[in-house]
Structure 1
Amino acid sequence: MKILSISTATSDLSVALNDDDRLISEKIEENQRNHSVDLDPDIAGLLKEAGLTLQDIDRFAVAIGPGSYTGLRVGLTTAKMFASILGKELVGVSTLQALAQNFAGEDALVVAALDARNHNFFAGAYRGEEAVIADGHYPLSSLLEQVAALPDEKVIFVGSDFSKYQEEITAALADKDLHLGEGSENLLHASAIGRLALTSPVLDPDQAEPRYLRRTQAEYDWQKKTGQEFKADSAYVEEV
């Protein structure tokens, strides 16, 4: 099965081609924020190098969240469009689970975390592909309490630059063998999305939505202004 994978969930742009679990080719652009401009040319270049076309792809896979609101929409919209027009399969993969795959061979609890500002993180903890702490939006203190309560002796943090939180993390997990990801260790690889996509459920392109894991600031402002609770048929989108 040939899988084209996309990640626009972070400031890094990554696309990859997998044939089952074998990587054909991958391209990563670090700290590249023009995803809407560069994604299509990167995909075209990757396909050309491999001697393939979009019609040769069996499954499109995308980092479905959490991550940048705009970035997630860019990646998912592109994957949905390809899958729908070409009649191919679409799969959404957790951004955090894909990040955890950077340390897939380690005998450790891997905490994948993206800085969500104000001492909060989008985070999930994994042993291999098993989710031990569910993907969510956590205050750092709450996340550390949950990690500290787990029996794992070795803990790896991956995803963000953790340097400004190092003292707090180290103090909370003083009894753990701790490693904080640095540099390229924190890159999100589309090839990992492709591997996980092999066993992920297929989505309906018309129904697939980003998994933001929290409301946008505009939604919070709307709720404060109107006093209304969010529901499936919330008037928020119509009003804005």
Structure 2
Amino acid sequence: MIKRVFALRILAIETTERQGSIALWESGTLQYYHLLPAEDRSAATLAPEIKSVCAKQGWALGDIDRFAVTTGPGSFTGLRVGIVTTKTLGYALSKEVVGINTLDAIAIQSSHTGELDVVMDAQRNEVFSRRYLLKNGKLPKALNEVCIIDDQQWAEQLPRGIKVTGPVLKKLKNTLPAHVQIEAEVNWAPRAESVAHLAATASPIDSPLKLMPEYFRKSAAEEKLAHTNNPNPSNQT
């Protein structure tokens, strides 16, 4: 059975996709769930949304025991917004902070039993991918590290009987082999309630200031700068 922490009040934030969310979690169950305005991802707009959600539930920020957030992969902008906000709250209120891998949060949303591949868009016709083993009543078990792979190569190597999920399926679902099962679309994108669920049994970071995003690759601007500074790395000795 899944171990639950019942006395913990958790506020979870998910901002890696175009429409983020906030969840309040207590006594092993979701207490409140709120979708953020689509396309509006900034620390300035997230803070009042958090205050509003807590007020509707009758919670003061000081009553929250743990703050949780997805740390990547995901949108560079979205990750920064969620992590800066969570880090600030944890530090200012002297509360616990937990970072959750975005693919892990998506995996727990599936009711599948067996192997599950979770994928997100890595741009440039590539995906972030991680495979899990799901068993009824247990948290998903990651079978490998997060990898970046060509999206068509990923689709071609999927074994028979596997199920796939993730927001990038919006553009890839019609290219998948016939033997691949596809998770219900409602579960493709990460939700803050899933972040809270995983955070309830996760170990907090020893200092909120150590909470950092996991981009898993350099941004396009960083790669362009690196190429400008070193256009012919193969010519180096």
Quote the residue 2:193 is aligned against: 191
Pair 5,216 (structure 1): closer, same or farther in 2 beyond 3 Å: same
Distance 2:67 2:23 in 1: 10
Q: Deviations over 1:119-166 (max 9, x none)?
A: 201221222321123222221244335532xxx724132323x25423
TM-score when normalising by structure 2: 0.84
The Cα offsets for residues 4-59 of structure 1, whole Å up to 9 and x where unpaired, read as: 000111101100000142111111246x1112143222211211111111100000
Q: 1:18 to 1:217 in 2, by over 3 A?
A: same
Query: Does the 8 Å contact 1:60/1:88 carry over to 2?
Result: yes
Separation (CA, whole Å) in 2 of partners of 1:205 and 1:114: 27
Compared CA separation, residues 70 and 5, structure 1 to 2 (3 A): same
Matches within 5 A, 1:172-183: 174=178, 176-182=179-185
The gaps in structure 1 that reach 5 residues or longer are: 229-240
Gaps of 5+ in 2: 1-7, 135-139, 232-237
The reply on whether 1:159 has 2:167 as its aligned counterpart is yes
Structure 1 counterpart SS, 2:117: strand
2:115 corresponding residue in structure 1: 109
CA contact (8 A) 2:22 2:36 kept: no
Q: For the structure 1 residues 75 and 164, does the alpha-carbon distance in structure 2 shift closer, same or farther, using more than 3 Å as the test?
A: closer
- CA gap of 1:163–1:18, structure 2 versus 1, over 3 A, is closer
State percent identity of aligned pairs.
29
CA distance 1:91–1:49, shift in 2 (3 Å): same
Q: CA RMSD in A?
A: 2.1
Aligned match of 1:25? 32
SS in 1 for 2:109: helix
Counterpart Cα distance in 2 of 1:2 and 1:166:
37
In 2, Cα distance between equivalents of 1:112 and 1:78: 26
Count of residues in correspondence between the two structures: 218
Conserved 8 A contact 1:65-1:212: yes
Q: Which amino acid aligns with 1:207?
A: K
